[in-house]
Amino acid sequence: MKYVLFVATDPAGEPTDESPEAWVEKWNGRGVRAEGMPLRPVDETRTVRVRGDRVLVTDGPFAETNEWIAGYDLIEAADLDEAIEVAASHPMATGGRIEIRPVAPLDLGPGTGNVPHEGDVPVARFLGILRTDPAAPPFTPDPAAVAHWVLDGIASGRYLGGEHLRPVHDATLVRRRAGELLVTDGAYADVPEWVSGIVFIDGEWEEAVDYLARCPMARAGTAELREFWTDLT
């Protein structure tokens, strides 16, 4: 089963000298980890909402929280127990917190699948983080409209794949504190706007914002645009 691991910060995290590279090598070598990338700082985020005929683009994340997503990893685990084992061995389980989310397969029709890519080579410049928004007017995205948005993005080179996630009540939070493994139900942050999916978007900032603003889910929720951190040395 596929799981997305959201690697999140935590002010209560503990210092660790564990190597992220060693973690990547271990789980890549076992064929469990498929890909993953760090994200640039949260203050470089742009948030997109569509309300009626208005496109609202603001600088910064969807909300001011002490915990924010610093990166993601996609794994293929036998079950949740193995996903917890993988997350628990991540250095950020000590330095931060890891949210495990099962992927919910979503078939939008022919030609709408992820664009193939290899491991940690970034397939796109940006990660779009789609969130629910209880304050948004009621709106149910039409699957046909979502498929059209995906196909349009593939044709233009904007859309390069994504993952639809199971609801937040299926989330599992993993932390290690003082040598003890803490596994609880729930997301990385206690907010009503939970992550419902991720999408890989390419292009320049304004092109990516424009494409994300045309996402049907932007009418029902909130979409954050985060740039991948590809210049780490």
Q: What is the CATH number of the domain that holds 197?
A: 3.30.70.1060
Q: What is the pLDDT of residue 111?
A: 87
Residues near 214 by Cβ (< 8 Å), separated by ≥ 6?
149, 152
Whether the pLDDT of residue 231 is over 50: the answer is yes
Q: How many domains does the chain have?
A: 1
Mean pLDDT, residues 202-213: 97
Q: What is the three-state SS of the chain?
A: CEEEEEEECCCCCCCCCCCHHHHHHHHHHCCCEEEEEEECCHHHCEEEEEECCEEEEEECCCCCCCCCEEEEEEEECCCHHHHHHHHHCCCHHHHCEEEEEEECCCCCCCCCCCCCCCCCCCCCCEEEEEEECCCCCCCCCCHHHHHHHHHHHHHHCCEEEEEEECCHHHCEEEEEECCEEEEEECCCCCCCCCEEEEEEECCCHHHHHHHHHCCCHHHHEEEEEEEECCCCC
Q: Which residue has the higher pLDDT, 116 or 133?
A: 133
Q: How far apart are CA 9 and CA 67, in angstroms?
A: 5
Q: Is the per-residue pLDDT at 208 higher than 50? A: yes
CB burial of 56-93 (b: ≥16 within 10 Å; e: otherwise) equals ebeeebbeeeebbbbbbbbbebeeeebbbebbbbbbbb
Residue whose token pair is 């208005």: 54
pLDDT band at 233 (very low <50, low <70, confident <90, very high): very low
User: Is 232 within the bounds of a domain?
Assistant: no
Confirm whether 233 is domain-assigned.
Answer: no
Q: What is the mean pLDDT of the chain?
A: 93
> Does the structure show a pLDDT above 90 at 117?
no
Q: pTM here?
A: 0.95
Question: Per the domain annotation, does 128 fall within a domain?
Answer: yes
Average pLDDT of span 126-146: 93
Domain with 207, as residue range(s), is 2-227
Specify burial of residue 200 (Cβ count, 10 A radius: 0-12, 13-18, 19+): buried
Residue 135 located in a structural domain: yes
- Average pLDDT of 152-164? 95
Q: Any idea how long the chain is?
A: 233
- More reliable by pLDDT, 149 or 116: 149
Report pLDDT digits (tens) over 64-77: 889 999 999 999 99
| Rounded mean pLDDT, 147-155 | 96
Interacting residues of 81 by C-beta distance below 8 A, sequence separation 6+:
none
In a domain, 114, yes or no: yes
For residues 105 and 79, the model is more confident at 79
pLDDT above 50 (res 108) = yes
Q: Compute the average pLDDT of residues 119-134.
A: 89
Q: Where does the pLDDT of residue 173 fall: very low under 50, low under 70, confident under 90, or very high at 90 and above? A: very high
Task: State the number of CA atoms in the 13 A half-sphere of 14 facing the CB.
Answer: 12
The per-residue pLDDT for 121 is 72
The better pLDDT of the pair 141, 123 is held by: 141
Could you give the count of Cα atoms lying within 13 Å of 201 in the half-sphere of its Cβ? 29
